[in-house]
Amino acid sequence: MKFCPRDGSLLLPVRRGGRAALRCPRCGYEEDAHGGAEYRSRASVENKSAIVVLAGEAANLPRVKTRGCPRCGHDEAYFWAQQTRAADEPPTRFYRCVKCGHTWREYE
Ligand SMILES: [Zn+2]
Ligand SMILES: [Zn+2]
């Protein structure tokens, strides 16, 4: 059992949009019975780890000299090639600036 932190009345279970909550019958104080805030913080941790994985993959790519990043002008970038069109055509070359992270493709 839980009691209202304002006036000490016994909190009663109620439904709020499909989830259980506890409500004070005297002053209207409510709290989430299942700690919904915990779920939200867990989701944001997962988003952060996804970004770390992407950065780690980029670090494994070879670094090459380029004609200059279109955004910041830095001349060193990560390089990879990817087959984006028909199989008999050469693969598209991609570059990601090591300084600002800008990604662009090199056309033939
Ligand atoms: Zn109360
Ligand atoms: Zn750049």
Asked if pLDDT for residue 57 goes beyond 80, the answer is no
Structure tokens, 86: 């028909």
Is residue 79 one of the residues assigned to a domain? yes
Q: How far is the CA of 35 from the centre of ligand 1 (A)?
A: 19
Range of the domain at 65: 38-106
Q: What is the DSSP letter of 26?
A: T
| Domain assignment present for 18 | no
Residue 98 confidence (pLDDT) above 90: yes
d(CA 102, CA 71): 7
| pLDDT of 51 strictly over 50 | no
Look at residue 38 in the predicted model and tell me its pLDDT: 43
Task: Give the CATH number of the domain where residue 74 resides.
Answer: 2.20.25.10
Asked if pLDDT for residue 10 goes beyond 50, the answer is yes
More confident residue, 106 or 59: 106
31 is catalytic: no
Query: Comparing 23 with 54, which gets the higher pLDDT?
Result: 23
Q: Is 30 a residue of the active site?
A: no
Which of 57, 75, 89, 106 does the annotation list as catalytic?
89
